[in-house]
Structure 1
Amino acid sequence: MNFKTSDNVFLHYTDTQTDLPAIICLPGIGASGQLFNKMVELLKDKYRVIVLDPRNQGKSQRTYKGQRMSRHAVDLEEFLTSLNLTNVIAIGNSMGASTLFAYASLFEKGRIKAMVDLDQPPKMINDDSWQYGYQDLTWDNFPVSLKYHDTVHANYLRVNPEISTPVKLEMKEYPYDETANYNFLCDHAFQDWRDVVMDLKIPLLVLAGEKSPYFNCKFAQAMKFINEKIESHVIAECGHILQAEKPEETTQAILSFLKKNGL
């Protein structure tokens, strides 16, 4: 299915189309929404599960427009509005979680009643105030070093072929152009969402991958010092793509969080 944004970009999404409470899932930068496929199967009996491909990713339209986090947040708001959805549970992996922080910065809680962050700290540039950013990214090497960022596998565990095969086929037919989207990567990495996290009006669960090649998993605990209401947990022996590497354990952590918050 496709949705047309206000700046005339078509975004692809999948939807279990039930009358159950809604969950929306957002993949990381350059990634396929199909990485959530197993999680969709695990959640669909209790929730309506929607997976949205961001602009320039998955089966969504390729465009030069909107290469900034704020536009991705607006895309999310327009999409939820088009489906007349409120009180949505939003799950974002990596950049998908940053989209949720951008959304909160623009709309506060808006149409979302709880957020789940899968392996994304609120700040990616390391400096004296924050030591849990992206690898060795600092103000001294930003943004040039981002041109050479994709030198390691995002996952630590081998992803089940049930998940990885459809993703590989989709990426072959709908490739992601890192060069064309370099400005977006820079905008993503530049942001500092700590003030947003501090004032967040809705429950937030942060799940970090113990073996993430991108982030020190201690960022999850550090976020609790920003906002003590945050719930955080480290998924052991797992890399950056929690929803695909350990979908059962990740889903169970999310379900426990939702139950605890009456959702």
Structure 2
Amino acid sequence: MKLLKLANGQRLAVVQQGQLTDQPLIFVNGFGSYKEIWTGQLEMLAQLPYRVIRYDFRGQGESAGQYAQTLDDLGDDLKGLIETLDFDRPPILVGHSMGCGVIWNMRHRHPEVHVKAIVFVDQPPKMISTPDWPYGFIGVNSENWLTTYAQKPKVRETLHGFVNQIFRPFSVAQTNAPFSRELGLPLLKNHFQADWRTTACHEQQPVLFVSAKQSPYYRPGYGAWVAAQNSAASQVLIADCGHDIMAEVPERFNQTLRHFLMKVR
């Protein structure tokens, strides 16, 4: 691990695996998460092979600085990371939860940054449910979101917990740099306010939505909704797991990811 300095001055903890000439693939964490949550994908990607990049958001995990206040902050950091690493080909992006919002933010605000393909893991493009959009965060609507977004969910994020292979390094990262939910609330509020449906429907690169059938947070129909508007998008539903699909059922997630990667190579 090393701290990589971006053009905007941010210093991010970045871990890379693979050769510089391999196809780059960047994992983007969710709210309050750590780069270690992607541990279960490393062996599979090393066999393909890919240049895998994992990083912690500014101010979190092993990265320096203060917590991001908006998705603009993190979208700019993702753009800066791609530009600083100076790939010889466009990267594939894989985002989980709020990390999908980071990717949509960058795609909306920085269309000049080329990507090869995108995978969105258990995250709809709009968090607030309305009569014509039933796929937002469960229990949150346009009337109550300002009083509910900051409340910690009272449900288990997974059905069975992380597998041991991922639980151990993730727990170490969490112990070494505990996440402050209070410091993250401005970012969470911004995340709840965002509506990326137009961005998702206009995406021209191949997109895969990987949704958990038993997600405690979202009804799994948003990927199909986007796919109905955008022929570049498709959806896969994975059963018997919660929100953190890649850490709870990594073998099934890896099979889905691998199939998509083979399709877009």
TM over 0.5: yes
Cα deviations by residue, 1:177-203 (Å, 9 ceiling, x for unpaired): 110110100001110001101111211
Q: Which residue of 1 aligns with 2:169?
A: 166
Query: Residue by residue, what CA displacement relative to the aligned partner does 1:64-90 show, whole Å, maximum 9, x if unpaired?
Result: 5x4111221110111111110231010
Q: Does 1:155 align with 2:158?
A: yes
Residues 13, 30 of structure 1: CA spacing in aligned structure 2 closer, same or farther, 3 A cutoff?
same
Alignment equivalent of 2:25, drawn from 23, 26, 38: 23
Misfit runs of 4+, over 4 Å: none
| Structure 2 residues not aligned, in runs of 5+ | none
Deviation at 1:7, TM superposition (A): 4.0
CA distance, structure 2, for counterparts of residue 148 and residue 183 of structure 1: 13
Partner residue, 1:4: 5
> Secondary structure of 1:179's partner?
helix
**1:141 has 2:144 as partner:** yes
Matched, 1:71 2:73: yes
Contact 2:122 2:210 in 1 (8 A): yes
Question: Residue type matched to 1:10 in 2?
Answer: R
User: For the aligned residues, what is the CA RMSD?
Assistant: 1.5
Residues in 2 aligned to 1:206 and 1:93: alpha-carbon distance in whole angstroms: 10
Which letter does structure 2 place at the counterpart of 1:241? D
Identity rate of aligned residues, in percent?
Answer: 26
Distance 2:233 2:112 in 1: 15
Q: CA deviation at 1:244?
A: 0.5
* Cα distance change on mapping 1:2 and 1:186 into 2, 3 Å: same
> In structure 2, what residue type is equivalent to 1:244?
A
* 1:47 aligned residue: 50
How many residues are aligned here? 261
Rounded Cα–Cα distance in structure 1 between residues aligned with 2:153 and 2:250:
23
Picking from 202, 224, 227, the partner of 1:221 is 224
Q: Quick check: 2:127–2:137 contact (8 Å CA) kept in 1?
A: yes
Aligned with 2:184 (options 173, 181, 188)? 181
- Partners of 1:113 and 1:87 lie apart in 2 by 5
SS at match of 1:147: coil
Matching of residue 190 in structure 1 with residue 205 in structure 2: no
Partner of 2:246: 243
CA drift at 1:25: 0.4
Task: Return the alpha-carbon distance in structure 2 between the equivalents of residues 15 and 189 of structure 1.
Answer: 31
Maintained 8 Å contact 1:118/1:207: yes
Instruction: Report how far residue 129 of structure 1 moved.
Output: 2.5
Unaligned runs of 5+ in 1: none
Shift of 1:62: 4.5
Q: Distance in 2 between matches of 1:107 and 1:113?
A: 15
SS of aligned partner of 1:164 = helix
CA distance in 1, matches of 2:61, 2:95: 15
Counterpart for residue 34 of structure 1: 36
11-20 or 172-181, which moves further after superposition? Answer: 11-20
- After TM superposition, give the deviation of residue 231 of structure 1 in Å: 1.2
* Aligned 8 A contact 1:26 1:51 in 2: yes
